[in-house]
Chains A and B, each alone.
Chain A
Amino acid sequence: MTPARAHTGSATPGNRGSGSRPVVGDPAAARPVLDAADVGRALTRIAHEIVERNHGADEVVLLGIPTRGVTLARRIASRVESIEGKPIQAGSVDATMYRDDLRMRGIRPLEETEIPPEGIDGRVVVLVDDVLFSGRTVRAALDALSDLGRPRAVQLAVLVDRGHRELPIRADYVGKNIPTSLLETVHVLLDEIDGRDGVLLGPAELGPRHGSTAGSEPEETAR
């Protein structure tokens, strides 16, 4: 069982626990901010906005950032397909090797990078992630993209923007803006991974802080 991805905010770097995986706040203690229907509506709106902004979806490639971003990218792709009536390309881009916190937080397993066979040169790439926090993951993903090709433009779609940016990065499509404190955790649950859809806002984690540098997600059990 993959734990819900928690975006914790404890801001002291380098204090990761001795265990390989930081403790994730108990989702039971968390309060729901989006239910399954809200998530569905947000994704439908994002799909419409992507089509509107790009005058169709012919040039668009949706690339999710593992793990939940990939699932979200697939869902948005199927919505865009039903709007436009033709297939749209979706894939994934793993930014692990481009992260700036590997040295602080230790290695993590690599996730899949799946680029359409035609490549991304000249296309409009829409990066998709579940939560936008510090912006560091997106920064890493942008670096990864530049090694994969030269898109005509890159846009960013996220289900939740929780604020606290540490880099000059903003999202083009946002499912829900959720103002948070740095001590809170945001859990995005998706049916394919967690058995149900929803977004939970959790309290500060109890016990010794296993938090990471602000903005980096705790590791997830891969595969």
Chain B
Amino acid sequence: MNRHLLSAADLSRDDALLVLDTAEELARLADRPIKKLPTLRGRTVVNLFFEDSTRTRTSFEVAAKRLSADVINFSAKGSSVSKGESLKDTALTLEAMGADAVVVRHGASGAPHRLANWIHGSVVNAGDGTHEHPTQALLDAFTMRQRLGRLEGLQVAVVGDVLHSRVARSNVLLLHTLGADVTLVAPPTLLPVGVEAWPCAVSFDLDGVLPKSDVVMMLRVQRERMHGGFFPTTREYSRRYGLDARRMAALPEDAIVMHPGPMNRGVEIAAEVADSVRSTIVEQVANGVSVRMAVLYLLLGGQLADTAEAAA
């Protein structure tokens, strides 16, 4: 494993499988009376969140605490920091406080990469702009493997607002590494420039893709990032690209429905679909903790050995 986890593309097939296998063992901790391991005792993990995210921040916090690391939540919200140099100053402050790992979410794509050049500890990308969210892709892959028993050869449809989604890009990269076939389904206005270079297929026809999909991953329509008209009306979007009970019936029998959350019920996903037995939305949250524990363990568990080696 690299020292940082910035992009799903950083992970080789072996790395990714190591994370998933480690997470599988760590998931069993949830059934034990003492849900804590001493492995990262004395290490400090800083959650540096420049964007709101209760789900991801809490997930990382629980993961780090279950490994006995000390957790500092650093929320940039409310402080008057602007981007650019201020990120560097923040990084240097954290460095001075002795952070072993910085989990960073930032509105600007590429901010974690910058941060990784400034500090000595590990940087984990917890979502940067519309770029990447690698731990989400890992937990999605984990959930698929758990439900369907395999990843190799799975047909995965990723549907909706691909343009503003960091989840989509990370999933395409990781699932490609792991041997699954991804099809992006979205209106042309919600596909990023250069999508033809991604290792996946693209379709505009949801009804055509559904019958041959093992997994359907619905993406949230990110209105807060939309400045301009990407589709005529919410209702029209929902009719063409939303997953309702009728469309769900077209899926193969054991197919699953995923959503990274938070959901817009009635827009990209109907309530009866979100609450159906095919939906893995709650499992995804639980699996997020196990996968993030695995990532923190693999990045920090042997850190001194790696630094010693680098220095030698």
Contacts and interface: CB of A to CB of B under 8 A. Distances in A.
Most B CB within 10 A of own CB, among A16, A105, A110, A111: A110
Nearest to B28: A113
B42 to A, nearest CB: 10
Interface stretch (B127-135, B161-169, B300-308): B300-308
Contacts of B309: 16, 18
B21 A110 contact: yes
Interface in B21-76: 21-22, 25-26, 28, 32-34, 36-39
A196 B302 CA distance: 34
Contacts of A103: 301-305
Contacts of B18: 109
Contact of B25 (A14, A98, A110): A110
B190 interface: no
B32 A143 contact: no
A147 B36 contact: yes
Contacts of A16: 305, 309
B25 A107 contact: no
Contacts of B26: 110
B186 to A, nearest CB: 38
A148 interface: yes
A31 B245 CA distance: 69
B32 A148 contact: yes
B33 A106 contact: no
Nearest to B39: A97
A61 to B, nearest CB: 16
Contacts, number: 57
A149 B33 contact: yes
Given A14-B308, A113-B28, A107 B36 contact: no
A94 interface: yes
A115 to B, nearest CB: 8
Most B CB within 10 A of own CB, among A14, A104, A106, A113: A106
Contacts of A105: 302, 305
A182 B160 CA distance: 62
A202 B309 CA distance: 28
B22 A110 contact: yes
A16 B302 CA distance: 12
Most B CB within 10 A of own CB, among A102, A109, A111, A113: A102
A58 interface: no
A54 to B, nearest CB: 25
B9 interface: no
B302 A102 contact: yes
Contacts of B142: none
Contacts of B21: 109-110, 222-223
B25 A94 contact: yes
Contacts of B22: 109-110
A103 B38 CA distance: 13
B298 interface: yes
Interface in B259-312: 297-298, 301-306, 308-309
Interface in A71-114: 94, 97-98, 102-113
16 contacts: A14-B305, A14-B308, A97-B37, A102-B39, A102-B301, A103-B303, A104-B304, A105-B302, A106-B306, A107-B301, A109-B22, A110-B25, A112-B25, A147-B36, A148-B33, A149-B33
5 pairs of A and B residues whose beta carbons are closest in the complex: A106-B302, A107-B302, A106-B305, A110-B25, A107-B301
Interface of B: 1, 18, 21-22, 25-26, 28, 32-34, 36-39, 297-298, 301-306, 308-309
